Amino acid sequence: MTTTGPRLRAVLDDIPAYVPGRAPAAREGVRAYKLASNENPYPPLPSVLGVIEQAAQQINRYPDMFATGVAEAIAAKLGVPVEHVATGTGSVGVCQQIVQATAGEGDEVIYAWRSFEAYPIIVQIAGAASVRVPLRDETHDLEAMADAVTDRTRLIFVCNPNNPTGTVVRRAELERFLDRVPADVLVVLDEAYREFVRDPEVPDGLDLYRDRPNVCVLRTFSKAYGLAGLRVGYAVAHEPVAVALRKTAVPFGVNAVAQAAAVASLDAEDELLERVEALVKERERVRGALLEQGWPVPPTEANFVWLRLGEDTAAFARACEEAGVTVRPFAGEGARVTVGEPEANDVFLRVAAEFRPRG
C-alpha cells in the first residue's frame, strides 16, 4: 500500500514565499537598526498604550466582529458613509478579502511589477492568474496596464506610492487610466503610504472613489500610525464592494486590542502626523544625501528609498548589516531602505557612501 498524505491544492506548490524584513542580529558594540520593513521607528504614544492596556483587560471576550467603533471613527474622519468602510487584519488582510471577493480560477488580476510582494501570493492562493505589467522608469505604466485588461480581468492593484520603489502616479494619468478600465473591473488604490505623500499632484484616492463604484481605496494603521504589530487596515468602497469585503473577512479577525488602539490613534492623529512630518523631512535628507553621493534614487513619496543595485544587491545588504542596519534586498534587482531614526539613516548613508559596485 502506498501512503499518501492529505491532498493539498496544487496552486500552493510554487507559491512565492513572503520574505519578511529581517531584524538585525545583536552584535557586541554595534547598535542595530531595522530598516527592512517600512515600520515607523517611533514607539507607541503613551495615550495609545494606555488604551491598549485597558482593552487587554477584556481579552476573554470576542471582539466586535465588524470593528464598528473603528469603522465609525474612520468614516467620521474621512467624511465617508460608515457603510463604505470595511476593516481587516492589516491591509494585507483586506487585500486577501478583496481578491476572494473578485477573483478565482480562470480570472486575471493585474498589477505592476515589481510592486507589493503580497499581491502575487494572495492571487495565487485564490487560484486566479497574475498579470504583471513591468514598471517603466520605476513607476506604474498605467497605459500598459489598461492595455492588459481582457475579458478575464476582475481586479487591478495600483500601489500609490509603489512599494518598493516609492514612486507615484499623478492625478491626470490615474484619471485617464480609470476612464479606460471597464466598469465591472475593480481597481484597488493601495495607499498604505498616503500620509507620507507631499506631491500635490498625487490624488487622494478618496476623491477618485466617490463617483466611481469600481474604485476601492486601501489604507492601513501599520505605517504612519505605527501599529504594524496590531494588524488593522481598511478599505473604503461603495456599498456592494464593502459588503462583499465584510463577507470574505475572517470572522473576528481584527482583535479588540487592535480596534481600541486604532480608534485611539485616530484621536491622537495630530501627534502622530507630526512624527510623519519628521520622517518626511528625514526622507528628503536621506534622498538628497544619496543623490549627492551619485546614486540614482527615484523620487519617493513613501517612508523608504529604492536603490536599483542589480547584481550588487546582496553585497550591499551584507555591507549594511555589517554596519548594523538591515535593509530589504530583492535579489538581482535592488534594495528598499526604510527611513528610520536619524542615527539609523546615518549608518545607512555611511555604508552607501563607501559602497563600491563591482562594476
The CA distance from 93 to 98, in Å, is 9
Binding residues for ligand PLP restricted to 261-320, rule: CB under 6 A: none
Q: Residues 112, 114, 116, 118: is their CA dihedral positive or negative?
A: positive
Q: Is 243 in the site for ligand PLP (CB under 6 A)?
A: no
C-alpha count within 13 angstroms, C-beta hemisphere, residue 183: 4
> Which one among 48, 92, 181, 272 touches ligand PLP, defined by CB under 6 A?
92
Q: One symbol per residue from 37 to 76: x for binding ligand PLP (CB under 6 A), - otherwise; what is it?
A: -x--------------------------------------
Q: Which span (50-58, 88-96, 180-188, 199-207) binds ligand PLP, by CB under 6 A?
A: 88-96
Q: Is 116 in the site for ligand PLP (CB under 6 A)?
A: yes
Q: Which span (66-74, 86-94, 288-296, 327-335) binds ligand PLP, by CB under 6 A?
A: 86-94
> Which one among 91, 124, 167, 345 touches ligand PLP, defined by CB under 6 A?
91
Judged by beta carbon, residue 92 or residue 249, the one nearer ligand PLP is 92
Smallest distance from ligand PLP to CB 192, Å: 4
The CA distance from 127 to 247, in Å, is 19
Backbone torsions φ then ψ of 344, nearest 5 degrees: -65, -45
Q: Is 220 in the site for ligand PLP (CB under 6 A)?
A: yes
Q: Is 190 in the site for ligand PLP (CB under 6 A)?
A: yes
Judged by beta carbon, residue 220 or residue 259, the one nearer ligand PLP is 220
Judged by beta carbon, residue 38 or residue 124, the one nearer ligand PLP is 38
* Grid coordinates given for 13: 506548490
Q: Is 90 in the site for ligand PLP (CB under 6 A)?
A: yes
Count of other CB atoms within 10 angstroms of residue 228: 16
Judged by beta carbon, residue 122 or residue 256, the one nearer ligand PLP is 122
Burial of 61 (0-12, 13-18, 19+ CB in 10 A): exposed
Q: Which span (167-175, 176-184, 218-226, 345-353) binds ligand PLP, by CB under 6 A?
A: 218-226
Give the strand pairing for 85-88 and 233-236.
antiparallel
Q: Which span (16-24, 70-78, 124-132, 216-224) binds ligand PLP, by CB under 6 A?
A: 216-224
Count of other CB atoms within 10 angstroms of residue 260: 23
Nearest residue to the partner ligand PLP, using Cβ: 90
Judged by beta carbon, residue 224 or residue 351, the one nearer ligand PLP is 224
Interface with ligand PLP: number of residues (CB under 6 A): 14
Q: Residues in the site for ligand PLP, rule: CB under 6 A? A: 38, 90-92, 116, 159, 163, 190, 192, 220, 222-223, 228, 233
